[in-house]
């Protein structure tokens, strides 16, 4: 029995090591390799890396169907580049991508960009009718990270959101932006 347990542990270690050793390849038919390529470019802001991230953001340059994990990783990595010329790409994904996870990743990327120009698409996502709650929550958090005072009215309205997580994120963002806590009543933030 002990030998079986030892063999199982060894097998699991090999499987885990294999999972971590996926080599990045932005042109691969394997979405994990394309995702890894996007992740490896996180924070790179040179023109060639940003161009590669834009291709991965669309993920239409291979014979394979676009994959949400690839597009999401590209959105996060592109946001970390902190380039103003990437904001329109991320804003378009945030508005139109069919996958809520990819839209969430675009919102996160916009928030991590540190650019105040990223606030407008985040505010739009926060108040967009029918937007997924996790995207609205991430947009609120991103606005708090950006510290954009123009977002205060939209964040105050989000305090009345039907989703508790969105209300909480909006409150935290308001406190982060203003440096004060006026509570969770939207009227107190006017």
C-alpha to C-alpha distance for 13 and 121, rounded to whole angstroms: 43
| The residue to which tokens 């806590």 are assigned | 181
User: Do 141 and 181 lie in a common domain?
Assistant: yes
pLDDT of amino acid 64: 79
User: Do 142 and 68 lie in a common domain?
Assistant: no
User: Do 137 and 181 lie in a common domain?
Assistant: yes
Average pLDDT over every residue of 88-93: 97
User: Do 70 and 107 lie in a common domain?
Assistant: no
Q: What is the DSSP string of 96-164?
A: H-S-HHHHHHHHHHHHHHT-GGGHHHHHHHHH-TT--HHHHHHHHHHHHHHT-GGGHHHHHHHTT-SSH
- 122-170 pLDDT tens trace: 999 999 999 999 999 999 999 999 999 999 999 999 999 999 999 999 9
User: Do 77 and 107 lie in a common domain?
Assistant: no
Domain that includes residue 49, residue range:
24-81
Listed residues 81, 115, 146: the one ending a domain? 81
User: Do 169 and 113 lie in a common domain?
Assistant: yes
Q: What's the total number of domains in the chain? A: 2
Q: Which residues contact residue 6 at a Cβ distance below 8 angstroms, ignoring those fewer than 6 apart?
A: none
Opening angle at CA 17, ends 13 and 22, nearest 5: 155
Q: Does 180 fall in a domain?
A: yes
CATH number at residue 174: 1.25.10.10
């Amino acid at each position: 029995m002990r030998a079986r347990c030892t063999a199982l542990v060894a097998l699991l270690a090999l499987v885990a090591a294999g999972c971590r050793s996926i080599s990045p390849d932005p042109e691969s038919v394997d979405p994990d390799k394309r995702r890894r390529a996007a992740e490896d470019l996180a924070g790179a802001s040179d023109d060639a890396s940003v161009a590669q991230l834009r291709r991965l953001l669309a993920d239409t340059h291979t014979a394979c169907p676009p994959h949400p994990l690839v597009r999401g990783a590209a959105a996060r990595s592109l946001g970390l580049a902190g380039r103003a010329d990437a904001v329109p790409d991320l804003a378009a994904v945030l508005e139109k991508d069919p996958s809520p996870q990819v839209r969430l990743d675009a919102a996160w990327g916009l928030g991590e960009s540190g650019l105040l120009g990223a606030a407008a698409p985040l505010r739009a996502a926060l108040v967009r009718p029918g937007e997924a709650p996790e995207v609205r929550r991430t947009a609120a958090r991103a606005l708090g990270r950006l510290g954009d005072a123009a977002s205060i009215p939209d964040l105050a309205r989000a305090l009345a959101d039907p989703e508790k997580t969105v209300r909480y994120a909006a409150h935290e963002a308001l406190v982060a932006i203003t440096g004060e806590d006026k509570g969770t009543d939207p009227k107190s933030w006017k």
